[in-house]
Every structure is written in C-alpha cells, then in structure tokens.
Amino acid sequence: MHVTVPMTAIDAPDGMFKTLGLGMQPNARQYWLFQIAGWSAMALLSYLSLTIWYNPGQWTPVLHTILQSILGIFVSHPLRLVASGTWTWSLVPRILVNGACVLIASLVWTLLRLYLFTWMTGEPIPLADWGGWWFASVIVFGAWTFCYYALKYYRHWIREHQLAVEAQNTALKANEVAQRETLRRLEAEKLFRDAQLRMLKYQLNPHFLFNALNSVSWQVRKGDSAGATDMLARIGDYLRVTLDHSDEMQHTLADELETLDLYLSIEKVRFGERLHTRVHVEEAAKTAAIPSLLLQPLFENSVKFAVSRTSEPTTISLDATVKDGELAITISDDGPGVSARKAAEEDATRGIGLLNVEERLKSAYGEAFRFTHGPVQPKGYRVEIRVPAEGRVPAAR
C-alpha cells in the first residue's frame, strides 16, 4: 500500500534560528541532534586520521578541525531545505538538483576551510591541493545527503507501516462489527421465529380455540347459523393472514392494525358488549414500521386480565403518535384495578407476552427503545412503547 505522507515540521522551510527556538518540534529536535552528533563525529574522525598525525601537539590545527565542523553545520543546513523541497519530485530531477547543490555546498565549505586554515596558521595552500580538499568535501556532503534521505525514507516507511497496521486494525474491527451485526440479526430472526411459535400457540391453544369454537357452538344452538358461519369465517381469515405473513420480520403499523382487527373481531363475538376498543393513530404513525405480530400479545393481556374478569364493559385503547422522530404507542385498559400487593403476581402472570414483546424490541432496536408497563390508578393497566419512527426497522443493531 502506498501512502503519501505530508511534509512534517522537520521538512518545513523554516529559518535555522527559528527552528532552534523554544517552539522546536520533535522532528526538528531529532534533526539537530543528528546534525550536531554527525558533525562532531566528523571532527573527531578528522582529528584522529589527520590532525594528530600531521600536526601532533599543535592546538591551532585542532581548533581548525573543530571550526570547520561548525561551519559544516551551517553550510549543510540549506541542503535539508533542498532535499525536503524536492521530496515529491520524480527520481531523476531530484538526483540532479540535489547533486548540484552538494557540489555547490562542497565548494563553499572548501573555500571557507581553506581561508580559515590560511588565516589561522599563516600557511598558504597551493592551488594544486585545492582539488583534494574539494573532493573530500564532495564525499562529506554526498554522505550527508545520503544519510538525510536514508533517515527520511526510514521515517516514511515507519509511517506507512503504522498506517497499514491502523488500516488492518480498522478492517478487523469492521469485520468484528459485521460479525456481531450478523449474529444479532440471526438472533433477531430466531427471536422472531420463537415469537411466531408463541403467537401460534396463543392462537391455537386450547383455551383460545375452545372459547372461539364454544362461541360458534352457542350461536348454532340458538339457531344463529349466519353468526356461526361469520365466526368461523373470521377465525379462518385470522389464521390465513397470520400464516401468510409468517415470514415478515416487520411491516407498517397500519398492517399490524389490520391483523389486530381480525383478532379483536373474534374476541368481540365472544364478549359482545363487554369488549370495546378505541384506536387513535396519527397518519404519520401509520407508515412507521414495527416488528410484526408485536401488539397482539398486549391486547391478549388486556382481554385475559381485564375483559374476562368483569361483567362490566371494558375498553381497550390504543394511541399512536409520532413526535421528534419517535413513535409512541400506548395500550391501556380500564379493567379491574390491582392493588400494590397483587401487582407483582399480575406481572408474573402477564410475563410471557410482555417478555416476548420486550425481547423483540431489544433485538430490533438495541438500546434505542423504551418499554414500560404497570397498573394505573384508580384501575386498569397500561403499556407504553417508544421506538424510532423509521420507515424500516433494522433486523439488528
């Protein structure tokens, strides 16, 4: 993978003395550390290989050796600006420009060294020896440029390696997230299948089926064959709809209400005037998507624990609104109240349907939902659901 690394503080064409200021960047400090260490090593090498052999015991040549290295620091610094400025160029122009600058810097350093030597020792250097001094300077500054580029390429490689590792880690994390999403989706599908089986159990359990068929039998006994036929038709329609849409993970609230209406039509035949329903759904809420077969367990709770426990008319209400991107659904009944002492027992009995609804909401929305339920005063029971008002419910989050 090729990554273009932006020019860092060490590569910026700042002035030398500004770079040496208090606001020096870490890369700049590293540059000057290598600069001083390199030219100090150059002075020591020159002393051990030349000065100590040709001028033993003389301090002037020693001082000249030190000063020429200090001059080398100043003369080599512009090469850094040239190298950083041509870093993004193609290879051939970069070699030509840096090579020319090495020759110029070598010539300048050679002239300064010759002048300094003559001024300090009073010994003129023959013109024939100038070539040797300049050749040595070319070797020194050529090595300086090579080392600078080597370090710069090394830092560039390190940076590319870090970016590659970060990209690999990001890919691994994305893969882990995708795997978690897949597992969550599979869990959602499993919960849906479990919920579907529970729904079929609710629909076909002996109690529900017995009551429905008992209503049909009662209508037949009293000679109401039309009512019995209608009841059987409702049961058949309800079973057909729930089975035809058994693969749906979600649908709109309007679709959910149509399925719910079939269920309630059966219960209304059973309970007659004892069961009343009130539905108030905003138009915006009708197009919001929710997990399928979500509301029936909540209505079944109200039928079982409110309508069937009193001979007085009982109303089950459903309100659905959309506000600030949130779908709010409230299902309540005005059936017999429960005391605080019996509330826990009531919740334990209601737990199958409520747990099913809560688990499906958690699977579909993660933590982005609210599900509360409990008795209300002076009587009745209320369930509230709040979920994002999306046109499509995600299978897992």
The neighbour count for residue 201, using CB atoms within 10 Å, is 11
Q: Please give the residue that has the higher pLDDT: either 332 or 205.
A: 332
Work out whether the CA dihedral 386, 391, 396, 397 comes out positive or negative.
Answer: negative
Judgement on whether residues 155 and 17 belong to the same structural domain of the protein = yes
Residues across the chain: 397
The answer on pLDDT for 55 being more than 70 is no
Neighbouring residues of 171: CB distance < 8 A, sequence distance ≥ 6: none
In the listed set 138, 154, 175, which residue is the last one of a domain according to the structure?
175
Q: pLDDT-based confidence at 341, cuts 50/70/90?
A: very low
Same domain, 57 and 160: yes
Note whether 44 and 153 are same-domain residues: yes
Whose tokens are 């890369």? That residue is 27
Closest CA to 190 of 330, 27, 395: 395
Q: Taking Cα atoms as reference points, which of 286, 285, 294 lies closest to residue 326? A: 285
d(CA 181, CA 18): 53
Burial of 98 (0-12, 13-18, 19+ CB in 10 A): buried
197 is a domain residue: no
**Is residue 229 in some structural domain?**
no
What percent of the chain has a predicted confidence (pLDDT) above 70?
79
Mean pLDDT, to the nearest integer, of 129-150? 82
Is residue 155 located within the same domain as residue 20? yes
Instruction: Please check the confidence at residue 10 and state whether its pLDDT lies above 50.
Output: no
Predicted local confidence at residue 52, as pLDDT: 64
Question: Is 252 found in the same domain as 370?
Answer: yes
Of 128, 144, 175, the position where a domain reaches its end is 175
CATH number of the domain where residue 302 is located:
3.30.565.10
Q: Is 203 within a domain? A: no
Please tell me the predicted confidence (pLDDT) of residue 338.
62
Q: Are residues 130 and 47 in the same domain?
A: yes
pLDDT at residue 134 in the model:
79
Neighbouring CB atoms inside 10 A of 359's CB total: 16
Residues 243, 246, 251, CA angle at the centre, nearest 5°? 120
- Each residue's pLDDT tens digit, 58-102: 777 778 778 888 888 888 888 888 888 888 888 888 889 888 888
Asked whether residue 140 falls in the same domain as residue 265, the answer is no
d(CA 385, CA 1): 50
pLDDT greater at residue 268 or residue 242:
268
What pairing do the DSSP bridges indicate for beta strands 314-323 and 326-333?
antiparallel
191 found inside a domain: no
Residues 171 and 257 in one domain: no
- The pLDDT score that the predictor gives to residue 110 is 84
Whether residue 255 sits in one domain with residue 131: no
Q: How many CB atoms lie within 10 A of CB 185?
A: 16
Q: Which among 43, 274, 276, 281 has a CA at the least distance from the CA of 140?
A: 43
45 with 156, same domain: the answer is yes
Q: Is residue 170 part of a domain?
A: yes
> What is the residue-averaged pLDDT of the chain?
78
Residue 348 is assigned to a structural domain of this protein: yes
In whole angstroms, give the CA distance from residue 173 to residue 228. 61
Percentage of the residues of the chain whose pLDDT score is greater than 90: 13
Structural domains in the chain (count): 2
pLDDT number for residue 51: 64
Residue 57: pLDDT band (50, 70, 90) is low
Q: What is the mean pLDDT of residues 329-333?
A: 95
> 219, 204 in Cβ contact below 8 A?
no
**Domain-ending residue, one of 175, 190, 223:** 175
One domain, residues 31 and 162: yes
Give the pLDDT of residue 139.
85
Q: Are residues 170 and 253 in the same domain?
A: no
Question: What band does 181 get if pLDDT is binned at 50, 70 and 90?
Answer: confident
As a whole number, mean pLDDT of residues 36-51 equals 77
Residue 185 lies in a domain: no
Mean pLDDT value of segment 209-228? 77
Confidence (pLDDT) at 235? 80
3-state secondary structure of 374: strand
Residue 210, domain member (yes or no)? no
Distance CA 249, CA 291 (A): 6
Name the least confident of 140-149, 171-180, 197-206, 252-261.
Answer: 197-206
User: Which amino acid makes up residue 65?
Assistant: T
Q: Which structural domain range is residue 63 located in?
A: 9-175
Between residues 347 and 233, which one has the greater pLDDT? 233
Give pLDDT, residue 23.
Answer: 53
Q: Which residues pair with 315 in a beta bridge?
A: 276
